[in-house]
């Protein structure tokens, strides 16, 4: 176990360096003039003529050898300087920090229905193997897996906002935004739901939840499909094990056998895909936040990409990639901890 | 003959698989017949460029000339859907084929040589995998610029790792089997071993994987187009049609469904296309997975 952790942690810096090299290589596919535009304070900057542009490229060292520029870039990042996000008129780093709570709130809330819904449905399908319940769950998962997130989200918006007006777009209603920004409301975490609870403010809580329902469901339904499949086959596998037969033979009720003996062990393989879910979720966040006009990192990335705001796009990519690396590390360690075969091996 | 009968029997017993095959055949027919099904206007520079019935923004409801209506910018939705089928096949098959090829080469090299080669290649796979797929593809498309080819390059760049891992584990499993040892003992060289014995035996799981991911590649490509970093404006592409519908989903004048056709028709096209591939992939897995085969018979 210890060697495994040590190996895994030692590998971490290598992954991070490789990742940053990859992102930087993508950036270097742009011409020096394109990259110079990144430093431009306003459009007139680039109109200074060919010799001016050449001077500026020299000044910022945009023609230097790859490794030299890479070193400078890394040095900047380590000092918290990710460049200037033109489409948001603020430094990239500041935008990333400012928008993080909103996205974290949405992502974490989406995890709950994904995980619990999938475990529940997957267990149900396995227990009712090959009967109508199993078949309908199977059909449901294939349909869900094939349905485009953005079409789902747009339809949801059309029906539940445009027609019924139950769940509006955005993060908060206008009055709530004003109230959250006022002095009487303390923003402890930047996550509206949590802050509203900490402030004991029921109106804000309700408003925040109303805005979160559709994005959360949008993020969740795709993953139900994938997770239910994994949970189902894992549960089927476990139900065939000898110890399950033993538990039944001991006269334990079927419910206890299923929940205590089978399901706990069936959850193990599901842990391994947790990292994959987070990765997929990050992509889903970009689409979901864009459609529901939810001011978070995903919307930031999509807008930056549309505006060809390269520092913002690359800063965002690096940010999410680093988060994902740590999530994966955590998942692997958790798996090692949960599985005695790995823990003691 | 026996194999064909078996497949037909399987399809008849599995309505889901049958649905997949029928849907896929339908899309193949549409893609093949695209020039017959649509009328090309003289001003179109390419058949993939959607014709416009004007330049104003507001979508127009279905009418005899435009059976599915026109979307924002007066692009004909029916035309875009028919030619978009070809685009979808191009993206799905192209990206998956090239990605699988790269994955197979890298995975085979890693599995066959093992040791340091394996270690380096697999860590490379890890690094590529530590990037969220949609975001990586989005970033690279942003940098390469708009266009179908650029988008496909981005999807391939971040879409080969699954195959590499899969083929590697398959080969490692097969490498230890007796018939490989026998072939080696009878003097077969490395290349011959890989080409004649190992690859053919490890390709079935890859085949299942490619079928399953054709649909999801088309989904990702549509998502990129939707986000505005995919195909060029006016290119016949389902994702773009949905992007064009975005401004109109709230309807107007108290009727939230006034412009439903801009979203629903292209949405159905993507959904059914991806569904077809997933159903066929599911069926293939049932047929080819030896562990399941025994139980079904």
pLDDT tens digit sequence for B126-150: 888 878 889 889 989 988 988 999 9
Q: Which residues of chain A make contact with B250, given a CB cutoff of 8 A?
A: 157-158, 161-162
Q: Is A161 on the interface with B (CB under 8 A)?
A: yes
CA-wise closest residue to A95 among A109, A81, A75:
A81
Question: Tens-of-pLDDT digits for all 345 residues of chain A?
Answer: 677 778 778 888 888 888 888 888 888 888 887 777 666 656 566 666 777 778 878 877 788 888 888 888 888 888 877 877 777 788 888 888 889 999 999 998 988 888 888 888 888 888 888 888 888 888 888 888 888 888 998 998 888 888 888 888 888 888 878 787 777 777 788 888 888 888 888 888 888 888 899 999 998 887 787 788 888 888 888 888 888 888 888 888 888 888 778 887 888 777 777 777 888 888 889 999 999 989 899 999 998 888 888 888 888 888 888 888 888 888 878 877 777 666 665
CA dihedral A248, A249, A251, A255 (to 10 degrees): 0
Confidence of residue B49 (pLDDT cuts 50, 70, 90): confident
Q: Chain B: nearest CA to A96, how far in angstroms?
A: 15
How far is it, in rounded angstroms, from Cα A164 to Cα A212?
16
Neighbours of A340 (CB within 10 A): 10
pLDDT tier at B2, thresholds 50, 70, 90: low
Task: Quickly count: other Cβ atoms within 10 Å of residue A36's Cβ.
Answer: 19
Q: Do A321 and B130 touch (CB under 8 A)?
A: yes
Task: Supply angle C-alpha A293, A294, A300, rounded to 5.
Answer: 90
User: Which pLDDT belongs to residue B294?
Assistant: 41
CA distance B34 to A14: 50
Collect all residues with Cβ–Cβ distance below 8 Å to B66 and sequence separation of at least 6: B53, B60, B76, B77, B78
**CB atoms B263 and A155 under 8 Å:** yes
**3-class SS letters over chain A:** CHHHHHHHHHHHHHHHHHHHHHHHHHHHCCCHHHHHHCCCCCHHHHHCCHHHHHHHHHHCCCCCCHHHHHHHHHHHHHCCCCCEEHHHCEEHHHHHHHHHHHHHHHHHHHHHHHHHHHHHHHHHHHHCCCCHHHHHHHHHHHHHHHCCHHHHHHHHHHHHHHHCCCCCCCCCCHHHHHHHHCCCCCCCCCCHHHHHHHHCCHHHHHHHHHHHHHHHHHHHHHHHHHHHHHHHHHHHHHHCCHHHHHHHHCCCCHHHHHHHHHHHHHHHHHHHCHHHHHHHHHHHHHHHHHHCCCCCHHHHHHHHHHCCCHHHHHHHHHHHHHHHHHHHHHHHHHHHHHCHHHHHC
User: Could you tell me which of A89, A195, A153 has the C-alpha nearest to residue A291?
Assistant: A153
- This prediction has a pTM of 0.87
Q: Length of chain A in residues, anyone?
A: 345
- Where b means 16+ CB within 10 Å and e means fewer, B143-168 reads bbebebebbbbbbbbbbbbbbbbbbb
Rounded Cα–Cα distance for residues B159 and B91 (Å)? 12
Mutate which: B151, B226, B244, vs A, most A CBs within 10 A: B226
Closest partner residue to B143 among A29, A279, A321, by Cβ? A29
> Which pLDDT score, from 0 to 100, does residue A194 have?
82
Which chain A residues touch B157 with a CB distance below 8 Å? none
Residue-wise pLDDT for A238-279, tens only, equals 888 888 888 888 888 888 888 778 887 888 777 777 777 888
Predicted local distance difference test score (pLDDT) of residue B295: 42
Partnered with residue A90 across adjacent β-strands are A85
A68 interfaces chain B, CB cutoff of 8 Å: no
* Chain A residues touching B130 at Cβ < 8 A: 15, 19, 321, 324-325, 328
Contacts of A163 in chain B (CB under 8 A): 256-257
Out of B130, B242, B245, name the one closest to residue A328 (CB): B130
- Can you give the pLDDT at residue A41? 58
What 3-state DSSP class applies to B210? helix
CB-nearest to A30 from B134, B138, B143 is B143
**Which residues on neighbouring strands pair with residue B235, listed in sequence order?**
B49
Tell me if A324 and B215 make a contact (CB, 8 A cut-off). no
User: Closest to A19 (Cβ–Cβ): which among B127, B134, B257?
Assistant: B127
Q: Do B275 and A150 touch (CB under 8 A)?
A: no
In residues, how long is chain B? 297
B198: Cβ contacts below 8 Å, ≥ 6 apart:
B108, B112, B171, B174, B175, B180
């Amino acid at each position: 176990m210890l060697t495994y952790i040590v190996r895994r942690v030692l590998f971490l810096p290598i992954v991070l360096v490789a990742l940053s090299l990859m992102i930087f290589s993508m950036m270097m596919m742009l011409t020096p003039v394109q990259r110079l535009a990144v430093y431009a304070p306003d459009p007139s900057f680039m109109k200074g003529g060919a010799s001016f542009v050449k001077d500026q490229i020299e000044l910022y060292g945009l023609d230097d050898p790859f490794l030299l520029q890479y070193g400078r870039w890394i040095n900047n990042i380590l000092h918290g300087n990710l460049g200037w996000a033109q489409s948001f008129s603020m430094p990239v780093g500041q935008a990333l920090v400012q928008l993080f709570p909103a996205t974290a709130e949405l992502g974490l809330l989406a995890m709950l229905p994904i995980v619990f819904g999938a475990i529940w449905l997957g267990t149900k399908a396995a227990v009712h193997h090959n009967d109508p319940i199993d078949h309908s769950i199977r059909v449901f998962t294939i349909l869900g897996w094939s349905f485009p997130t953005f079409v789902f989200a747009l339809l949801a918006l059309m029906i539940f906002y445009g027609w019924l007006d139950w769940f509006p777009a955005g993060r908060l209603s206008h009055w709530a935004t004003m109230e959250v920004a006022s002095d009487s409301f303390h923003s402890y975490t930047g996550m509206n739901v949590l802050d509203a609870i900490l402030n004991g403010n029921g109106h804000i809580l309700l408003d925040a939840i109303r805005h979160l329902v559709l994005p959360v469901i949008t993020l969740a339904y795709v993953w139900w499909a994938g997770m239910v499949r994994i949970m189902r086959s894992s549960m089927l596998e476990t139900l065939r094990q000898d110890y399950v037969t033993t538990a039944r033979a001991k006269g334990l009720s079927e419910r206890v056998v299923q929940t205590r003996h089978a399901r706990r062990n069936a959850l193990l393989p599901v842990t391994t895909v947790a990292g994959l879910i987070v990765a997929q979720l990050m992509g889903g966040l970009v689409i979901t936040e864009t459609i529901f006009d939810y001011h978070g990192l995903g919307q930031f990335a999509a807008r930056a990409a549309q505006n060809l705001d390269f520092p913002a796009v690359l800063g965002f990519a690096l940010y999410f990639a680093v988060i994902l690396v740590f999530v994966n590390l955590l998942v692997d360690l958790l798996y090692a901890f949960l599985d005695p075969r790995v823990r003691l091996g | 003959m026996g194999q064909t009968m078996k497949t037909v029997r399987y399809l008849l017993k599995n309505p889901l698989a049958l649905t997949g095959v029928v849907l896929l055949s339908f899309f193949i027919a549409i893609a093949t017949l695209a020039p017959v099904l649509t009328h090309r206007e003289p001003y179109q520079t390419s058949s993939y460029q959607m014709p416009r019935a004007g330049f104003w923004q507001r979508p127009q409801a279905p009418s005899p000339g435009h059976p599915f209506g026109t979307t924002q910018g007066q692009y004909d939705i029916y035309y875009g859907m028919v030619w978009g089928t070809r685009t979808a096949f191009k993206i799905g098959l192209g990206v998956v084929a090239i990605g699988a090829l790269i994955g197979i080469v890298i995975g085979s090299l890693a599995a066959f040589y093992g040791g340091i080669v394996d270690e380096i290649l697999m860590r490379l796979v890890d690094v590529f995998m530590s990037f969220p797929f949609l975001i990586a593809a989005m970033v690279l498309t942003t940098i390469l610029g708009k266009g179908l080819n650029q988008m496909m390059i981005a999807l391939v760049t971040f879409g080969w790792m699954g195959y590499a891992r899969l083929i590697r584990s398959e080969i490692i499993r097969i490498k230890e089997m007796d018939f490989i040892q026998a072939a080696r003992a009878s003097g077969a060289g490395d290349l011959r071993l890989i080409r004649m014995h190992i690859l053919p035996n490890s390709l079935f799981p890859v085949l299942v994987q490619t079928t399953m991911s054709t649909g999801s590649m088309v989904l990702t490509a549509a998502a990129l187009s939707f986000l505005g970093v995919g195909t060029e404006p006016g290119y016949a592409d389902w994702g773009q049609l949905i992007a064009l519908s975005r401004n109109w989903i709230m309807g107007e004048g108290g009727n939230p469904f006034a412009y439903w056709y801009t979203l629903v028709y292209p949405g159905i096209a993507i959904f059914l296309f991806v569904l077809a591939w997933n159903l066929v992939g599911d069926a293939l897995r049932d047929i080819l997975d030896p562990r399941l085969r025994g139980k079904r018979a």
